[in-house]
A and B are shown apart, each in its own frame.
Chain A
Amino acid sequence: MAYHSGPDRDGSNDDGGLAALIYDPKARGLLFQTIMLLAVIGFFAWILDNTVSNLAAQNKKSGFGFLDESSGFQILTTLGTYLIESRPGVATYFDIFWIGVINTLAVAVVGIILATILGFVIGIFRLSSNIILRGFATVYIELLRNIPLLLQILFFYIVVLRILPGKREEGYTLFNGAFGLNIEGLFAPYPVVREGIGTVLLAFIGAIILAWIIAWLAKKRQEATGKQFPSFWVGVALIIAIPLVVFHSIGEPMNLEYPRFLNAGDELPNGRTASKLQAGYDIKLGGMVVVPEFLALLLALSLYTASFIAEIVRAGILAVPSGQTEASKALGMSNGHNLRLVVIPQALRVIIPPLTSQYLNLTKNSSLAVAIAYPDIVSVFAGTALNQVGQEIEMIFMMMMVYLVISLVTSAFMNWFNDRMRLVER
């Protein structure tokens, strides 16, 4: 039999029959793909069957009916419990799910903003010619990058708790009691809005549009005449001033409820006096609280991620050829202008893709919250609620979907941003 070392393209194999079919690359490909497909389908069918029979053997419930049942546990005061019904006995497991989602998003979004700002600053410090700044940035990066995040979270939490004054003390206050900070958290004024706040919101949106138009006109004029206009600062002024004027002229449709601090013996609204235990800030009487669990988690996540972002920023800046800086110096640009107008726009092209994965990391790392009692989705839904309901598969699946959606949306946004920042090639 003639053995074909190469593919038999014309199919004119003299042997004919089955053997020919096996040596025909097309048929062979088809055969193996079919086998592969069957194996994959079989694998999933096996897993499905196994699961169903295991669940049946253990008498476990399945399906998503549990989401309508009411839960019986209290959740720490956080953004989620401000926005969603959380009273035990009233809140359903679906409410609990959303509280977890909101809390995860809250720490992720604020953390990403802080980490980005801090990361850029440290990254630029790292390249500074000032030896103190450079040294500080180097130590910061090497220290934070190399200590496990969970340890840092626990460390910040315990440090935060140890530093802050006790809950029966007013602690650090600001603006005449508008803000107070003690071990129970950061107390801040709570905005109570009345009718008319919509008008102020409209004024705010109008001001943004106006600022944008001015910036656009200024750019056109600069392109035409070369004259510059401080459109950024004018825009900022407009965005602050216009809503403020509207706010006052229609009679201030919002006021701030300040946090109330009670001393033992103070009179309560129900006529009784506050006990020794009731002394402290009471958010039922006004104001709101940001708990130390959130503060510690936020601090740890953003400081840790900033150390990675700083290195990304440094790499991005170093990737811009030094000729660019030399050229802008030759044109008489200041250091600030050079950085802002020449170096950073070019560096961003290198920075954005790895930055995206740092954002995703921060979001996923926020699941360490459970260690310090911050009620994120892992802690409150895949933790406490899962222990009451016991439907691991459904609940873990929902949790995975949350992280998947957050990750996909983040990547989509960053890809869009990356496209915008790409060098427009002419």
Chain B
Amino acid sequence: MKLRSAMGALTALGLVMTASAATADTLADVVGNGSVQCGVSQGLPGFSNKDDAGNWTGIDVDFCRGVAAAVFGDAQAVKFTPLSAKERFTALSSGEVDILSRNTTWTMTRDTQLGLNFAGVNYYDGQGMMVPNSLGVTAATELDGASICTNTGTTTELNITDFFRSNNMSFELVAFEKADEVVAAYDSGRCDVYTTDKSGIAAQRLKLADPDAHTILPETISKEPLGPVVRQGDDQWFNIVRWTLNCMINAEEMGVTSNNVSNMLNSDNPGIKRLLGTEGTFGENIGVSNGWCANIIEQVGNYGETYEANVGANTPLKLARDGSVNALWTQGGLMYAPPIR
């Protein structure tokens, strides 16, 4: 009896985390809380990062603001929880956050085995490597025997292992929980290589003592479609999150921006009317107001606007969009959203 209750108590401790997600009516919980709980990174410029004034900024942050605009008509009704790569899925499964919008790669394991659902892709990325110029390396295949710094709990760890194994090269992997420690260790010479998503490298490189003394190798060794994630088992919430993304992409395609959205409300283009809710009940059908998408665009902007403001060619990250996979499909890229109809 004593043993059994001790075991029970221990298991219970583990379970309490999951117990709070009992209702699976996330929208009601969010409305009850008065804000969307959004899981972000601990500081990745361009994606989710606190600015000097202490406000969260970035393309992943804007996405959560979009969801808040859809649900509350108020893009500020978001609480951000910084999460390390290692703890992010547990935080989402346990109900600590309602959305994970944290440069997270959509993989089959995560989508199926981990009990999560990816709502789409807001940045198509791939894994890259950065080396100090002094090493004299110009291609990833010259890296036999290298020591490599990266984050724990990422796809990065798996891809780099695959890459070295399939090229029959040996390496040492030094995996840290926090990105800042990875940068510090790499900067002090503990590792020859820093590896993560290419967008991440572009951002973390800015934190090095001398960014110009480092080169990003040309190879892209993986596909990293990054996107927002929710728990499985709550289709309504999944719909709201997924269509927030689709709203932002469709708005860009139709030329609706935060500046012209108030005029566009008078447009008689049927596509724009459905988008902005002046025709149909698309918003009500997913559990929010019909002006949901108009609110998102007005308060946050369309996809292209948040891209350019956070990671585009005119930001410190300098990730030019023209001609890249992140351009709209009409411009030869991969950004393509199903129609609102």
Interface residues of A (CB under 8 A from B): 40, 44, 47-48, 50-51, 53-55, 57-61, 72-77, 88-89, 154, 157-158, 161-162, 166-167, 183-184, 275-278, 280, 282, 284, 292-293, 370-373, 375, 379, 383-384, 386-390, 392-393, 396-397, 400-401, 404
Contact A373 B174, CB 8 Å, known A277-B143, A278-B144, A390-B115: yes
**Chain A interface, >50% SS class:** helix
Most buried by A among B116, B149, B170, B233: B233
Instruction: Tell me the minimal C-beta distance from B141 to chain A in angstroms.
Output: 11
B142 lies within 8 A of chain A by Cβ: yes
Residue pair B174, A60 in contact (C-beta under 8 Å):
no
User: Once bound together, how far apart are the Cα atoms of A280 and B116, in whole Å?
Assistant: 44
Partner of B152, one of A72, A88, A370: A370
A277 in contact with B161 (CB, 8 Å): no
Considering residues A51, A166, A393, which has the most beta carbons from chain B within 10 angstroms of its beta carbon?
A51
CB pairs A–B below 8 angstroms (14 shown): A50-B19, A58-B233, A59-B112, A59-B115, A74-B157, A88-B165, A158-B184, A278-B144, A379-B152, A379-B177, A383-B152, A384-B175, A387-B153, A389-B113
A76's partner among B11, B12, B174 (CB-CB below 8 A) is B174
User: Does B279 make an interface contact (CB < 8 A)?
Assistant: no
Does B173 lie within 8 Å of A75, measured CB to CB? yes
Q: Hey, which chain A residues are within 8 Å of B233, CB to CB?
A: 57-59
Name the B residues within 8 Å of A383 (CB-CB): 86, 152-153, 177
B110 to chain A minimum Cβ distance, whole angstroms, is 8
Q: Which of B7-42 contact A (CB under 8 A)?
A: 8, 10-19, 21-22, 24
**CB neighbors of A among B148-207 (8 A):** 149, 152-154, 157-158, 160-162, 164-165, 170-178, 181, 184-185, 188-190, 192
Q: Tell me what chain B mostly uses at the interface: helix, strand, loop, or mixed.
A: mixed
Most buried by A among B89, B114, B137, B192: B114
The answer to whether B15 and A167 touch across the interface, beta carbons within 8 angstroms, is no
Q: Which residues of B contact A53 (CB under 8 A)?
A: 22
Contacting pair B145 A277 (CB below 8 A): yes
Q: A278-B145, A390-B89, A390-B113 are in contact. Are A58 and B232 (CB under 8 A)?
A: yes
CB closest residue in chain B, given A385: B153
* Contacts A55-B115, A161-B188, A379-B152 given; does A400 touch B13 at CB 8 Å: yes
Q: In the complex, what's the smallest C-beta–C-beta distance from A271 to chain B, in angstroms?
A: 15
Number of B interface residues at 8 Å Cβ cutoff, please give it: 67
Known: A59-B233, A60-B114, A61-B113. 5 other contacts (CB 8 A): A54-B19, A57-B24, A74-B161, A183-B190, A184-B172
B221 interfacial by beta-carbon distance below 8 Å: no
Cα distance A390–B91 in the bound complex, in angstroms:
12
CA distance A48 to B136 in the complex (A): 58
Task: Considering the complex, give the chain B residue whose CB is closest to the CB of A73.
Answer: B157
Instruction: Give Cα A278 to B233, complex, Å.
Output: 50
Chain B neighbourhood of A277, CB < 8 A: 135-137, 142-146, 192
Residue in contact with A388 in the complex, picked from B109, B172, B231, B232, CB distance below 8 Å: B109
